[in-house]
Structure 1
Amino acid sequence: MRNEREEKLRVEPLASSHDRSGFESGVEPLDRYLRTQASQDARKNMAAPFVLLLANGTIAGYYTLSSTSVQLAELPAQTVRKLPRYPLVPATLLGRLAIDRRQQGKGYGRYLLADALYRAAQSEIASFAVIVDAKDDSARRFYERESFLVLSDQPMKLFRPMADIRRLFD
């Protein structure tokens, strides 16, 4: 049985009908991106923005997914041992994730992360991992709590192997 909160929330691709004007995460570049750039990125297939909507249609948060690659040398040695020796490994970039400041502290960040990981795992495009670039130490700790691993020599760039993500949804 779904809980009441889950029935009130829905995640869907960003559409022109979504009112983005009042969204405020407290991080101006993330707010500006949603208001001015996200639709264009979607139209040009640069990123796939998804919004978390409350029952009244208000945007509570959003994230973007796109294709990327990671250099084999950036991955930890124990991970590299299991991979073919290609110079680049395909991955999915969780490029942005933001929650409206009025909705922060309610677990919506984890909710959106789970949705993003599920969508990445369901994709028919090959992807070794989901990659994130944490904007600050707080974001890095959030992803580390969610089992993301730090890339070698890049403490703000983290990854979670797709095999691990798929096990979450089996």
Structure 2
Amino acid sequence: MKLTAGLRVEALGPHHDRGAFTSGVEQLDRYFRTQAGQDARKNMAATFVLILDDGSIGGYYTLSSTAIVLSELPAQTVSRLARYPLVPATLLGRLAVDRHQQGRGFGRFLLADALMRVVRSEIASFAVIVDAKNDAARSFYAREGFLPFPDRPLKLFRPIADIRKVLD
């Protein structure tokens, strides 16, 4: 993955031009253009954007708080947790790379940035959760160490303890 030093990830702001961004997934593009700013202002989701050398947006992701029903997790995971009905987690709700930038490693770069933000947070979170949009997205997250929920192959999680081991 060759990334240039001029790349940066920052919180979405009103100065960012979202109009030219196209990932090829209409649902993700529409959200980014019309809803991401509102969700950020209402504290529903924090959106972070990858700024390229030329100032354009190369991709984005969103983070928000969520909870996992304990019984949804695999039995071997549940056996190591306290018996609370809900387990705190962080939702990586959306992750998209502009179609002109795909294949350059920016998806992995954005995922790594998101995971680092979650690990550095002072808010308790057992895992990062993703709802993959399709099998290709599911495969991407699986390659990055995410595990499927039983009976829900497009919903995956990765424990924070596992992420910390990789980042340390």
Taking structure 1 as the reference length, what is the TM-score of the superposition? 0.96
Shift of 1:4: 7.4
Partner of 2:35: 37
Counterpart residue type for residue 25 of structure 2: V
Partner of 2:15: 17
1:88 to 69, 83, 86: 86
Take 2:136 and 2:52, find their aligned partners in 1: how far apart are those partners? 25
Counterpart residue type for residue 157 of structure 1: K
Take 1:29 and 1:147, find their aligned partners in 2: how far apart are those partners? 25
Residues 40-92 of structure 1: CA distance to partner in whole angstroms, max 9, x if unpaired? Answer: 10000000000001011100000000000011111111110000011110000
Specify the SS of the correspondent of 1:8.
Answer: coil
Q: Report % sequence identity.
A: 69
Counterpart residue type for residue 30 of structure 1: L
Shift of 1:5: 2.5
The yes-or-no answer on 1:169 pairing with 2:162 is: no
Distance 1:163 1:6, change over 3 A: farther
Take 2:96 and 2:3, find their aligned partners in 1: how far apart are those partners? 19
Ranges in structure 2 where 5+ consecutive residues have no aligned partner: none
Specify the SS of the correspondent of 2:13.
Answer: coil
Shift of 1:166: 1.2
Take 2:129 and 2:3, find their aligned partners in 1: how far apart are those partners? 28
Cα root mean square deviation, aligned: 1.1
Take 2:48 and 2:85, find their aligned partners in 1: how far apart are those partners? 31
Residues 19-42 of structure 1: CA distance to partner in whole angstroms, max 9, x if unpaired? Answer: 100000001111111111101100
When the two structures are aligned, how many residues end up with a matched partner?
168
Ranges in structure 1 where 5+ consecutive residues have no aligned partner: none
1:147 to 145, 148, 159: 145
Taking structure 2 as the reference length, what is the TM-score of the superposition? 0.98
Take 2:26 and 2:5, find their aligned partners in 1: how far apart are those partners? 30
The yes-or-no answer on 1:104 pairing with 2:102 is: yes
Specify the SS of the correspondent of 1:101.
Answer: coil
The yes-or-no answer on 1:28 pairing with 2:26 is: yes
Residues 95-126 of structure 1: CA distance to partner in whole angstroms, max 9, x if unpaired? Answer: 00000000000000000000000000011000
Shift of 1:168: 1.8
Specify the SS of the correspondent of 2:100.
Answer: helix
Partner of 1:116: 114
Partner of 1:51: 49
Take 2:49 and 2:97, find their aligned partners in 1: how far apart are those partners? 10
